[in-house]
Amino acid sequence: MLDVRLYLLQRLSAMVMAPLVLVHIAVMIYAVQDGLTATEILSRTQGSLLWALFYGSFVMAVSVHAAIGLRVIVFEVARLKGPALTLFTWAAFVGLLYLGMQAVYAVTAS
């Protein structure tokens, strides 16, 4: 369940991600042409501040957005409430943020 603040965060993170998603899909369509190898991927991303910023902000936004989205689902479907619900939301946010930033660092670090 959402109150106005969580709703705002959800919609804001969505709007931040809108252009990022389009670019990501376009990049994927381009990248998978003629096969895909690990070397190809890393040669484009390693040492790139641009990709680090791009995917860093993507990870930040998706962690907020997915955590709130999952919150609504576990509340409505699993009937999770109160402190347990809050804990779940934070855990989802922190988990995605941590794994995501680790991934961004892994492919952009030089």
> Residue 29 is encoded by which pair of tokens?
């369509």
Q: Does 32 bind other proteins (CB under 8 A)?
A: yes
Q: Return the residue of 25, 49, 53, 94 that touches other proteins, per CB under 8 A.
A: 25
Could you give the CA distance from residue 12 to residue 6 in angstroms, rounded to a whole number? Answer: 10
7 binds other proteins (CB under 8 A): yes
Q: What DSSP state is assigned to residue 35?
A: -
Residues written for the chain: 110
Question: Do the Cβ atoms of 63 and 100 come closer than 8 Å?
Answer: yes
CA distance 103 to 21: 17
Residues 55-94 that bind other proteins (CB under 8 A): 62, 66, 69-70, 73, 75-77, 92
Least Å from the CB of residue 33 to other proteins: 5
Can you state the angle between helices 4-31 and 49-76, rounded to 10 degrees?
130
Which residue among 16, 23, 29, 80 contacts other proteins (CB under 8 A)?
29
Residues that bind other proteins (CB under 8 A): 1-8, 11, 14-15, 18, 21-22, 25, 28-30, 32-33, 35-39, 41-42, 62, 66, 69-70, 73, 75-77, 92, 95-96, 99-100, 102-107, 109
